């Protein structure tokens, strides 16, 4: 017997929540075990300060690996803007963040898309695709500056079957705005002599924004409530019977 449509959608929503939690927890666990070592490794690479080309390669590499490693992308992009300038720093940060998001979508697509295709009916898949087409790009753009949530959104979008073209455009847009913001912050911080202070804020602000977003989004959304309900025609049938009684129609 085929599963009920609402039950399958509810199970799908629950699975997506678990995928998002896993995407958030994995970098946190890696940070607990590798955070200090990773910081020391990066410090050794940039001390003394290498050439701009090496810095650009390091920035792109670290940001593209953000989906796997506990890398503070805001601080990396801020440092890139400070030492490479706003224009070149933005370009490097945009390339790295965009690649990281693409890796996340690909991982989610490879690991979960086939499972969803087998589990959901054609009607439910079309409904989920419609939701992703409308809300998915906005979700990707909004979460892109937020640590952990950006990676989780990329993986979930691939798992749920968000179209590659939709994800690529929204991911590139969100990363460009984020890269420009942090790179300009780093360049201005170096120019004004307050780079260390702005680096601290580049870590605090995204974490605080993520906490506030999660705090206001405690209840979650039941996807089954978004599904169009069948129209109740009982009231119309009663009105029709009052206007055109059945007995009069038979007599006529």
**How far is 35 from 113, CA to CA, in rounded Å?**
31
Q: What is the pLDDT at residue 201?
A: 84
pLDDT band at 9 (very low <50, low <70, confident <90, very high): low
Q: What is the pLDDT of residues 223-235, one digit of tens each?
A: 444 444 444 445 5
Q: How confident is the model over 66-71, as a mean pLDDT?
A: 76
Decide if 120 contacts 12 (C-beta within 8 A).
yes
Q: How confident is the model over 108-137, as a mean pLDDT?
A: 74
Q: What is the pLDDT at residue 50?
A: 80
Which is nearest to 95 in space by CA: 133, 66, 136, 138? 66
**How far is 250 from 109, CA to CA, in rounded Å?**
61
DSSP code for 110: I
Decide if 125 contacts 117 (C-beta within 8 A).
yes
pTM: predicted TM-score of the whole model, two decimal places = 0.70
Higher pLDDT, 79 or 117: 79
Statement: residue 188 has pLDDT above 70:
yes
């Amino acid at each position: 017997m085929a599963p009920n449509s609402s039950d399958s959608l509810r199970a799908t929503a629950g699975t997506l929540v678990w995928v998002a939690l896993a995407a958030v927890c994995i970098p946190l666990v890696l940070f607990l075990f590798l955070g200090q070592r990773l910081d020391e490794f990066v410090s050794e690479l940039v001390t003394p300060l290498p050439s701009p080309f090496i810095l650009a390669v390091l920035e792109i590499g670290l940001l593209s690996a953000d989906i796997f490693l506990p890398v503070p992308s805001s601080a990396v992009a801020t440092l890139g803007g400070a030492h490479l300038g706003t224009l070149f720093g933005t370009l490097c940060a945009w390339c790295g963040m965009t690649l990281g998001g693409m890796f996340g979508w690909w991982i989610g697509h490879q690991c979960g898309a086939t499972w969803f295709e087998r589990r959901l009916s054609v009607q439910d898949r079309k409904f989920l695709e419609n939701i992703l087409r409308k809300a998915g790009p906005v979700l990707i753009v909004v979460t892109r500056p937020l640590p952990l949530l950006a990676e989780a959104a990329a993986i979930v979008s691939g798992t749920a079957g968000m179209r590659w073209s939709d994800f690529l455009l929204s991911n590139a847009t969100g990363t460009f705005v984020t890269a420009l913001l942090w790179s300009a912050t780093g360049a201005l911080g170096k120019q004004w002599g307050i780079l260390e202070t702005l680096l601290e804020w580049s870590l605090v602000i995204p974490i605080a924004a993520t906490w506030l977003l999660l705090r206001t989004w405690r209840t979650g959304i039941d996807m089954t409530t978004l599904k169009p309900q069948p129209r109740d025609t009982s009231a119309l049938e009663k009105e029709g019977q009052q206007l055109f009684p059945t007995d009069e129609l038979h007599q006529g």
